[in-house]
A and B are shown apart, each in its own frame.
Chain A
Amino acid sequence: MGARVGLVQRRGVIAGMGAITLLPGAARAQAGFPAQPLRLIVPFAPAGTTDLTARLVAQGLGERLGQTVVVENRPGAGAMVGSEAVARSTADGYTLVMSNIASHAISPSLYPTGAVRYDPVRDFTHIALVTSNPSVWVANLRSGIADVAALLQRARSQRGGLDVASSGAGSSNHLLIVQLAQVAGVSLNHVPYRGAGPAMTAVIAGEVPAMSDSLPSAAAHVRQGSVRAIAMSSETRHPGFPEVPTFREQGLDIVSTSWFGISGPAGLPAAVVARLNAEIRAVLATQEVRARFAEFGGTPGDMDAAAYGRFVAAEFARWAPVVKASGAEAG
Chain B
Amino acid sequence: MKINTKDLLSGAILILLAVVGYWLNQEHALGNARRMGPGYMPMLTFWILGGLGLAVFLIALFSGPNPLDKWTKLEILAVPLAIAVFFITYFVFDALKLFTGNYYVLGSAMFVGCVVLAVAPGWRPLGLVHAGFALFGLMLEQFGLMLALVGCIVVASLADPDHRPKGVIGMIIFLCALCWWVFIKELDIRVPVWPQFL
Contacts and interface: CB of A to CB of B under 8 A. Distances in A.
A314 interface: no
A294 interface: no
A10 B196 contact: yes
Interface stretch (A14-22, A50-58, A97-105, A144-152): A14-22
A1 B187 CA distance: 11
A22 B104 CA distance: 19
* SS class, residues of chain A in contact with chain B: helix
Interface stretch (B70-78, B94-102, B157-165): B94-102
Interface string A6-28: 10011001101111001000000
B193 A3 contact: yes
Given A2-B180, A2-B184, A2-B185, A16 B193 contact: no
A75 to B, nearest CB: 14
B103 to A, nearest CB: 11
A13 B196 CA distance: 8
Nearest to A20: B197
22 contacts: A2-B180, A2-B184, A2-B188, A3-B193, A3-B194, A5-B184, A5-B188, A5-B190, A5-B192, A5-B193, A6-B144, A13-B142, A13-B196, A16-B101, A16-B102, A17-B99, A17-B101, A18-B100, A19-B100, A22-B197, A39-B190, A72-B190
B142 A9 contact: no
Interface of A: 1-3, 5-6, 9-10, 13-14, 16-19, 22, 39, 70, 72, 88
Given A2-B184, A14-B196, A22-B197, A9 B101 contact: no
Contacts of B101: 16-19, 88
Contacts of A72: 190
Contacts of A19: 99-101
Given A13-B141, A16-B141, A2 B100 contact: no
Given A5-B190, A6-B193, A17-B104, 7 more contacts: A2-B188, A3-B194, A5-B188, A14-B196, A16-B141, A72-B190, A88-B101
B5 to A, nearest CB: 41
Contacts of B100: 17-19
Given A19-B99, A19-B100, A22-B197, A1 B142 contact: no
Contact of B194 (A6, A16, A18, A88): A6
Interface of B: 99-102, 104, 141-142, 144, 180, 184-185, 188, 190-194, 196-197
A19 B104 CA distance: 12
Contacts of B194: 3, 6
A68 to B, nearest CB: 10
A9 B194 CA distance: 10
Contacts of A14: 196-197
Given A13-B142, A16-B141, A6 B102 contact: no
A84 to B, nearest CB: 10
A1 B142 CA distance: 19
Nearest to A88: B101
Nearest to B196: A10
A1 B188 contact: yes
A58 B175 CA distance: 33
A18 B193 CA distance: 20
A2 B196 CA distance: 14
B99 A10 contact: no
Nearest to A72: B190
A16 B104 CA distance: 11
Given A10-B196, A22-B197, A17 B142 contact: yes
A146 to B, nearest CB: 29
Contacts of B192: 5-6, 9-10, 13
A5 B184 CA distance: 9
Contact of B190 (A10, A17, A70): A70
A14 B192 CA distance: 11
A115 to B, nearest CB: 14
A17 B141 CA distance: 10
B175 to A, nearest CB: 16
3 tightest Cβ-Cβ pairs between the two chains A and B: A2-B184, A6-B193, A9-B192
B164 to A, nearest CB: 31
B99 A1 contact: no
A2 B176 CA distance: 14
A3 B144 CA distance: 11
Contacts of B197: 14, 22
